[in-house]
Amino acid sequence: MNGAEVRKRGIGFVGLGGITVTHRKGYRIYGLPFVAGYDPSPRARAAFAAEVPEARVYDTLEGLLNDPDVEVVDLATPHTREARLTPLQAIVKAGKPVYIQKPMAAYYQDALEMVECVEEAGVAAMVNQNMVWSPGAQALARLIVDEQAIGEPLLAQGEVRLRSDYSAERWFGKDERNWTAGNAVHLISVMHMVFGPPESIFAVTGVDSDHPGVTYDAFGTLIWRYRNGFSISLLTNGMYYGINPKPYVSEEIWVQGARGIIDTGPEEFLTVSWREDPTQPGGPILRRTYDIPGAWMPDGMGRGMQHFQQALDANAEPLCSVQDNLYVMAVIEATYKSNERREPVTIAEIMGDRFDPNYGPGWVHRYQHG
């Protein structure tokens, strides 16, 4: 993607918390202008004004939405219903396209309410599911979906383990749905993009009692099952303090198919391995390593917003549209329900009439620029 190929719409921020600093770093890479910001916190507004003195700062949402230079809204409030739905209703009523910080919500029903709000207003909306814009994830989707480089996938695994900061002054980790909804969602979104929604999920989530600041979940083991027998295992841990951490940008993702294996992370490497002679399982293994330029953070933030603006120009559905992201939210909901019930939960149960068993990879539902 070339930044010159998109009409660069002015971005207004609703919510000026720490994550938006990374958003702006990514937007700068792609020359995407941010013209205004709003936050109810005077401290957050002051920090934004100091960082971006050329932008306008508003102490009301109405003021920002009335700014004619705000053509796209970056909605980055916390992902509770109270903090998301009310501003979203005002944004779409004003007719502004909206880019929503992941996760879209903590609960599927809240996400569905947001999608219905967007659809009723007829406004374009995309979720900033930023890991799908990492170089490794994009390359993985192209190789598996477009090029079928390893044939029909048989199984896949993703793993991340790190130690998050759950200290008292941090807001995250204290709510009912912490790790899976707010952090494991990165891997969930990539697997949805490449393989689409599973038929069912069996999951175990929990918390380490050594981390009293976390009240609900900080690790999870998720097993996705598909109708054709394909399966995905996601092993995620936000409380890991052992000797072999695999934090974001160095976590492991691998996919084994009928004709080979792909190993990758969101950046730095992607390797395809295959047998020189498929009829000789014990024979020589050939490998090809791909050079993947770029970085997940903050580059992925800029790539996502640029794609959204390109899709707006084309009046087309973007990758990670809010409708597509309902499948990601359904996986999260099924994960928590499976842990509570101690049994598999189907995505159809969560989504009802919204579920399409033939939906396929999120990758194929995107606008393809150029």
Q: Quick one: three-class SS letters along 43-84?
A: HHHHHHHHHCCCCEEECCHHHHHCCCCCCEEEECCCCCHHHH
Of the listed ranges 167-171, 260-264, 300-304, 352-356, the least confidently predicted one is: 167-171
Using DSSP bridges, classify how beta strands 200-206 and 219-225 pair: parallel, antiparallel or unpaired: antiparallel
Write down the pLDDT at residue 3.
Answer: 43
Tell me how far CA of residue 69 lies from CA of 65, 75, 98, in angstroms: 9, 16, 14
State whether CATH 3.40.50.720 applies to domain 3-131+299-321.
Answer: yes
pLDDT, average across residues 335-347 = 98
Segment 54-70, tens digit of pLDDT? 999 999 999 999 999 99
Segment 204-222, tens digit of pLDDT? 999 887 766 677 788 999 9
Q: pLDDT over 70 for what percent of the chain?
A: 93
* Res 2 pLDDT > 70: no
Level-2 CATH architecture, domain 133-293+327-356: 2-Layer Sandwich (3.30)
The two tokens of residue 271 are 């390797």
| CA 75/CA 66 separation, integer angstroms | 16
| CA 184/CA 320 separation, integer angstroms | 16
Is the fold of 3-131+299-321 the same as that of 133-293+327-356?
A: no
Token pair 């309902």 is found at: 326
Write down the pLDDT at residue 212.
Answer: 65
Write down the pLDDT at residue 124.
Answer: 98
Segment 117-168, tens digit of pLDDT? 999 999 999 999 999 998 889 999 999 999 999 999 999 999 999 887 666 6
Segment 69-80, tens digit of pLDDT? 999 999 999 999
Top-confidence residue, 99 or 281: 99
- Give the largest CA-CA distance in the chain: 68
Segment 234-264, tens digit of pLDDT? 999 988 989 999 888 788 899 999 999 999 8
Q: How would you write 164-220 as a 3-class SS string?
A: CCCCCCCCCCCCCCCHHHHHHHHHHHHHHHHHCCCCEEEEEEECCCCCCCCCCCCEE
Instruction: List the chain domain ranges.
Output: 3-131+299-321, 133-293+327-356
Write down the pLDDT at residue 1.
Answer: 43
The two tokens of residue 149 are 């480089």
Amino acid residing at 331: V
Mean pLDDT rounded to a whole number for the chain: 92
Contact 149, 260 (CB under 8 A): yes
- Name the band, by pLDDT with cuts 50, 70 and 90, for residue 171: low
